[in-house]
Structure 1
Amino acid sequence: MAKSPKKPAKHTGVKQGALTAPRTVPALRVVQGDSRFYVFNMKASELWPMVSINRRSETEDRGYQRVLSQARVEAVANHIKSGRPVPNSVLISLDKAEYDEQSGRLTIPKGTDIGWVIDGQHRIAGSHEASAEVDIELCVFAFEGVDQEFQIEQFITINREAKGVPTSLVYDLLSHLPNRKKPADVANERAAEIANELRRDEKSALYNRIVVTQSPSKGKVSITNFVRKIAPLVHPDRGALKVYTLPEQKGIIGNYFSALKKIYPDQWAKADNIFFRTIGFGAMLNMFDEIFTLTLSEHGGFKIEDIEATLKGVKHFEFSAWDSYGSGNKAEMEAASDFRTDFNRSRTNISKAKIRL
């Protein structure tokens, strides 16, 4: 009886690839202007261990790849295990390779960090994740001997120039597929995308505040907690933000936290900022629907100044009472109820103050 292949490990942190022996594959050489690359196929279980991924550091100015989303990896893996193909190619860079024109074979030398992923890390990782059950072949395009600047240029070109299909069209087309992705999976992936964009945006109040690869320290929130609270808002069937595009959703969430930063500067300046503790983060997002709807209704938009105007009556709210609430959904709901009570009272007082007899 054949031994079952070992289940691939989860993919986190820096990815360093290696070959313990040279690998020769049939390949086609392609020349475009001054660029030369090779096209070949390779099993996912063989490609993943070979390649390295130069991921962007959260704290240092190095790397260029986005943080790997486990949700996207598992989505690719499930897609493959259900018997569907992955026709898209992946793009890598080989530091060294020798090509034999007569035999049409490419030899990749042994070593560490001999190949770098430029585009397709989620397809490679997801295919590797599925390889214990279904080990598919991936179509690989490989540049040879290009520096990091060239790799970054290719990465930016691929990811910036690609024109995304409107979300509304995607949701409409998904309804025609009998085994479509579950709405909750779509919501989780979208929330993770928003988290990754906001935490990298230097103009965002959430810049460097969302932690992906480690446990959050004071003043930061984990991407898991972020997705837990944001996914319901972007749920394609019932989310308050379901009709908006990714850039609009990012802007709405970003503006909300930027407004909190301006309204509560003393609280924001604390190392143990309440808005990034589980209870505070959860409570303020439990209030989001009401604040969002009211702000749109009264100000016609959701700019930072619009949100400030909506919340001006509770700018002196005392958050210290939340310290004794503990954690969990119940505590978040109680904290949100406290804020809602003061918020509604302030609005009543403002309405009374406007009455002139």
Structure 2
Amino acid sequence: MEYLIDRPDIVFNCLEARQPIGNMYVGIINYDDLEYISYADVRRLELGNDNREVEEYIGIQRNLDPKREKDIGKYVNLVDATFPNSIILAMSSEHAKFDPKTSTMKVPYKDDIAKVLDGQHRIAGLRGFNNRDGSAFQCIVTIYVDMELEDQAIVFATINKEQKNVSNSLVADLFAFAKSRSPQKTGHNIARALNEKSGSPFYQKIKILGVARDNSRETITQDTFVKSLIAYISKEPQKDRDFYKRNAGSSKKLPLVSGTEAENLFLRNLFIEDESDVKIAQIIFNYFYAVSHKWPSAWNFVSNNQILNKSTGFIALMRFFKHAYLHLANGNLSAIPSKEQFLSVFTQITLTDSDFNRERYIPGSSGQGQLYRDLRDQSGL
């Protein structure tokens, strides 16, 4: 690719750091410049005989995940979007010129001169950044210059071997510290409240932070609970959170939903109108109170072969919850069906406590689907 005549070199603040593997340069670069000069050397598995260099065949980056790129593209437009970690690049000294006197790095505005060792999804997601009001999005980059292919592979392998995913339940729990309203915070607050309230059908059953403190009781992860609940509140919880954060302190509210959308998101209008979340928590309480009284042994006691009070049973029950609620609400999506009304929904269901075993309902999506279908078929909903 030829240099673009009408674009000057990119010059950005940079510091030199020395490590056992060699020197590296840590700088700050505008997102659009970064996107233009970088490329991902995606691993190729096929063989060829066209005399290309070895690195043409041995890339060290994973394939780009379109869904992840789309998700990050949405995220970068949130009011509090941030990439606090460095994007790691490998460049030739032909293109990367560090000036120790001014602590700046100069690179030509040229396509595909910086190989991405880590951060390709962040860069791809930044293509969707809406530069409204001239807002900036600068990225931290770590640049290795003239790094051997073997060392590039070591850096890539080290990053992906050593990094540990953050527990989704921990992420859910951290929303408790948020000041503004969001579906995530609602889900967290309700999970915490039902888990801590004596007499609740979820009393000490939820693994807060995803870690069981008492293996004899805690059978549902906070992440599973919150995700299942949010599914009836929002299609785009991050977008809703962004709305509340941007409009903190104002009287603005999200628009209410109606029709088919209101049926699919049957808790959404309550979430928008009732900012205390008490009504949603009461509905969940009443529904699972009915579950715990219909199948007291299967819900309250834990065994290796039992599935009702674990993710398989809980997810199936949450899927059936939509049909039970809409049947009882009869068009009134601000209704709070009583425990007795939810119990009446289960009257026709012939499943007994002993039926909720791993042989009949295999743990995982197939077992969840089968239990959901059985609940619907036997209830007539």
Q: Which TM-score bucket, shorter chain as reference?
A: 0.3 to 0.5
Return the index of the structure with the highest Cα Rg.
Answer: 2
What is the TM-score normalised by the length of structure 2?
Answer: 0.42
